[in-house]
């Protein structure tokens, strides 16, 4: 009997501090898909906030810790890699792309490449690695519209995987919003430095979502959803935001 896929789960800062239920639901979904999930309590940040703010040396220090925290155990079967999975395309994009620049020509380059090869966003891991097309028992009544986060779409090439999983949720139907690939306006420090532009972008995204009549805006990134939810709450609008892990863990 084959051993279950081994997964080291990486929980992003936003999820850890503000949406811990999404972290728990990510574990729940991975276990439902047959994985054995491991959590390293020493894990911290991927280094993205510092990197995006221009603090490359400080970011490299944090990234080096990430590599240590998620290096493959020496006892791992080479034919059965120990995957790193995160409910955040933003963090995965950081590891896959920015780390190549941070560690180019350094002694850590080889270890970096090993971690990069094993790191996946939740939905692409389920569909592309495990060949999962549905989470048994997942059920949520209503309609959803999907927001393609910039990190998922442009950095990781993720578009069909989350839609495929969501479309298989019992009771849930999809209606696409206009300009679904347009940025929500968060962009990390962009939302702080350019508040007016950021809010206007969130307004446009939410208005497109409202026009569909959907009950939920769903995405792979809580950072986008947090930004949109803040605008929705301020304006007291009748639409909800949900991370895809929370949707897939609903109803069972």
pLDDT in tens, 170-226: 999 999 999 999 999 998 888 888 899 999 999 999 999 999 999 999 999 999 999
Dihedral through CA 7, CA 124, CA 166, CA 217, nearest 10?
Answer: 100
The answer on 108 and 49 residing in a single domain is yes
Q: Is the same domain home to 116 and 155?
A: no
Task: Find the CATH number of the domain harbouring 163.
Answer: 3.40.50.11810
Q: Are residues 192 and 121 in the same domain?
A: no
pLDDT tens, position by position, 102-113: 999 999 999 999
Q: Say yes or no: 120 and 163 in one domain.
A: no
Query: What pLDDT does residue 188 have?
Result: 81
Same domain, 10 and 121: yes
What domain count does the chain have? 2
pLDDT of residue 69: 96
Residues of the chain with pLDDT under 70: 1, 74-79
Rounded CA separation 8/251 (Å): 25
pLDDT the model gives residue 79: 62
Residue with tokens 């949109």: 228
């Amino acid at each position: 009997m084959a051993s279950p896929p081994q997964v080291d789960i990486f929980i992003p800062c936003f999820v850890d501090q503000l949406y811990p239920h999404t972290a728990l639901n990510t574990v729940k979904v991975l276990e439902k898909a047959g994985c054995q999930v491991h959590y390293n309590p020493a894990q911290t940040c991927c280094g993205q906030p510092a990197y995006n703010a221009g603090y490359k040396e400080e970011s490299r220090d944090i990234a080096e810790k990430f590599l240590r925290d998620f290096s493959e155990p020496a006892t791992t079967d080479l034919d059965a890699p120990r995957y790193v999975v995160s409910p955040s395309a933003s963090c995965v994009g950081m590891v896959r792309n920015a780390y190549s620049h941070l560690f180019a020509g350094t002694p850590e380059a080889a270890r970096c490449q090993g971690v990069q090869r094993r790191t996946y966003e939740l939905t692409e891991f389920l569909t592309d690695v495990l060949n999962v097309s549905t989470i048994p028992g997942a059920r949520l009544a209503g309609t959803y519209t999907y927001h393609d986060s910039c990190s998922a779409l442009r950095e990781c090439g993720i578009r069909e995987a989350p839609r495929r999983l969501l479309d298989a949720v019992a009771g849930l139907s999809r209606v696409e919003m206009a300009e679904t690939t347009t940025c929500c306006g968060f962009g990390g420090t962009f939302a702080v430095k350019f508040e007016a532009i950021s809010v206007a972008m969130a307004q446009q995204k939410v208005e497109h979502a409202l026009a569909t009549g959907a009950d939920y805006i769903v995405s792979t990134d809580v950072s986008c959803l947090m930004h949109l939810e803040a605008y929705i709450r301020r304006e007291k609008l009748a639409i909800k935001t949900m991370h895809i892990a929370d949707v897939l863990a609903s109803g069972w």
